[in-house]
Copies of this chain bind each other. A is one copy, B any other.
Amino acid sequence: MTEEATAIRDRLVRWTEAVASGDRQGILTGHADDLLMFDFPDTVRGLEAYDRTWAFFDDSRRGPVTFAPRDIQVMAGDDVGFATCEIHCDGTTAGSFDLRLTVCLKKREGDWVVIHEHHSVPTTDERLIGPDAQR
């Protein structure tokens, strides 16, 4: 793994640790003011709106929260990179569930900054589920 890819991977892991521990400032660290997030229900634009989604998450905590990434893959160029992983979440009012995460970054002033996140859970909408769906 290149030095840049390691930096992106480390940033992602630290972010998941911040989510688990409820460190709101740590969650926001390294996120662009103009970020675009495709969240579970809605599209979220800008850091302020992004912060509010974590207020909702924090309100849903029932005790210690698990937010554990697996299968992290990173691709880093000189100044654009991205990472993918699946995350197991437990300990909120939502119960146990898995989400898929894509994070896209740009290097600004020498530091990797998240400018896009895409969070999703597998849909249960029967109209959209093909025969290969593992369910």
Q: In the assembled complex, which residues on chain B have CB atoms less than 8 Å from the CB atom of A129?
A: 40-41
Contact of A38 among B53, B81, B100, B104 (CB under 8 A): B100
Q: Which residues of B contact A97 (CB under 8 A)?
A: 127-128
Known contacts A102-B102, A104-B82, A116-B102; A40 and B123 CB within 8 A of each other: yes
A66 within 8 A of B: no
A66 CB to closest chain B CB (Å) equals: 16
B interface footprint on A67-107 (CB within 8 Å = 1, 0 otherwise): 00000010111111110101000000111010010101010
A53 / chain B contacts, CB cutoff of 8 Å: 130, 132
Q: Is the interface of A mostly helix, strand, loop or mixed?
A: mixed
Q: A94–B41 contact, CB under 8 A?
A: no
Bound-state CA distance A120–B78 (Å) is 29
Q: B78 contacts A100, CB within 8 Å?
A: no
In the bound assembly, the distance between CA atoms of A79 and B134 in angstroms comes to 34
Roughly how many angstroms separate A81 CA and B42 CA in the complex, as a whole number? 24
A120–B118 CA distance with the chains assembled, in angstroms: 9
**Lowest 7 CB-CB distances: which A-B pairs, in order?**
A77-B80, A120-B120, A56-B130, A77-B77, A94-B127, A41-B133, A38-B100
